[in-house]
Structure 1
């Protein structure tokens, strides 16, 4: 593990950019950026366009390590290049930003009020490639919709089981059991989730340190105990569908919680903007998310 990157993520000021929209969410991300589905004929063209969008974000002067600690990439992005370097190397070497990789394959159907991760059959191979591409850590998402104890336990069990496989490959896992912001039982879900996560954290061994990516809690500072836990490197928050302003306002209320926003980072960016307009819009989002994170 890269110790300099570890220190930056653990103690640095800033936030983690989520640039990891996958096959399922890419059309929506492109549409928000001003590229409609009739602009591409197939998946290859779609992924080319989204890589152009991500390249424009990453190479922008507004994408600055003074504000951004790390960036989460989609697998295709990891395997592609920016200015002759693999994306992870470009982030680390040219930008001073720590690269992460989304490793999950999407969500299973709802069962017991939750969506577990689909099986990740090629995880060992992906982790091997991530190491070759100098990736620091990984991210994987499940979703909790109801305060169902059995469902929440199953989600957290699965997250930590795969997390241990990632740790064994000498990468840092970001454990992400998202609570749906629209759940009528959101607060109760969060109480159950926190208790389950603590159980697992207390059983981690030496050199088994993890990150957590959680929905901003309804109860202010609910996750302070997780943030302060000796096995937790950092707790980051997802925007979960909130607008940038709303997500930032909620984040500011929670001490020690930093952002890992996707939509909230890119919501004002558009393919038709001039470079100056694009960079100005990105800089505004970056600075506002940074301010909320510190």
Structure 2
């Protein structure tokens, strides 16, 4: 796929984006969920080798390339690896799947009810290398934990500032100010966040577009206006700790949003499964998430 073909696939594709970007601190938890305990590796390289093998198994599964997965978010080491004998971004594009790269460096300590992203001085270098490898866009995450206007506005402003750096490198950023779904004041806070996002979009130069990755809102349909905004290429939803069933049920009530699930996609996959069992389990999850995304 060319870059323009990828853009069209993301903008109009009837499917969802798989999140395969567990990194550093979240990798042991992801492997445990996959049925591999911490004692199975002794070095970080061995740990990342195990998670890469899991991702290869997903990417090469027949159902992963059936057209229902339109994009995949990768961890840097996954981007640099191979699958099916080819660099991962090339292999994904070959299967009709648009590659994205996780680019944030983790979270700062909570301040004003939000965790901002850590400084990322090497962002442009990473983006330029990703573009050369065939990556279309990026993803970066901050977390909002309460309806504190100062924290929400700062988190959203940082997302747009970093997004501008990414746009200058020729990639399309996914901005992800995740709102903690367990927050008691989420309904109020999400409205504050929506206003901050709209302000950030208004400030974007004409002709530029970003993507948004947001928690499924407490108030169904809250983000409908964003899904048709001329400066938004696509609005995707994170599962945010919901089970697959819960996430799909809530997502289906929000027309225009499509899924970008990690836990919701991977929760029932196990290292010990035969290829037939693995492919069947993954296929069922893909079908369910796809149905919620196009509802």
Q: TM-score range by the shorter chain?
A: over 0.9
**Residue 44 (1) aligns with residue 68 (2):** no
Give RMSD over aligned pairs: 0.8
CA contact (8 A) 2:251 2:257 kept: yes
Aligned residues: 293
Distance of 1:184 and 1:46 partners within structure 2: 36
Distance of 2:64 and 2:71 partners within structure 1: 10
**Residue 64 (1) aligns with residue 65 (2):** yes
Query: What residue number does 1:176 align with?
Result: 176
CA contact (8 A) 2:105 2:120 kept: yes
Distance of 1:167 and 1:65 partners within structure 2: 30
Query: What residue number does 2:223 align with?
Result: 223
Query: What residue number does 2:211 align with?
Result: 211
Query: What residue number does 2:93 align with?
Result: 92
Structure 1, unaligned runs of 5 or more: none
Task: Using the TM superposition, give the Cα deviation of residue 66 of structure 1 relative to its aligned residue in structure 2, in angstroms.
Answer: 1.5
Q: Which aligned pairs between 1:39-188 and structure 2 lie closer than 5 A?
A: 39-93=40-94, 95-188=95-188
CA contact (8 A) 1:106 1:118 kept: yes
Distance of 2:96 and 2:291 partners within structure 1: 19
Give the SS at the match of 2:25.
coil
CA contact (8 A) 1:145 1:179 kept: yes
CA contact (8 A) 1:17 1:265 kept: yes
Query: What residue number does 1:33 align with?
Result: 34
Using the size of structure 2 for normalisation, the TM-score is: 0.98
Distance of 1:135 and 1:196 partners within structure 2: 28
Distance of 2:167 and 2:121 partners within structure 1: 17
**Worse-superposed segment, 75-84 or 53-62:** 75-84
Task: Using the TM superposition, give the Cα deviation of residue 225 of structure 1 relative to its aligned residue in structure 2, in angstroms.
Answer: 1.0
Structure 2, unaligned runs of 5 or more: none
CA contact (8 A) 1:65 1:97 kept: no
Q: 1:207 to 1:65 in 2, by over 3 A?
A: farther
Q: Deviations over 1:210-239 (max 9, x none)?
A: 000000001010001111111000000000
Query: What residue number does 1:19 align with?
Result: 20
The runs of at least 4 consecutive aligned structure 1 residues that moved more than 2 Å come to none
Distance of 1:20 and 1:208 partners within structure 2: 25
Query: What residue number does 1:246 align with?
Result: 246
Distance of 1:193 and 1:53 partners within structure 2: 35
Using the size of structure 1 for normalisation, the TM-score is: 0.98
Query: What residue number does 2:259 align with?
Result: 259
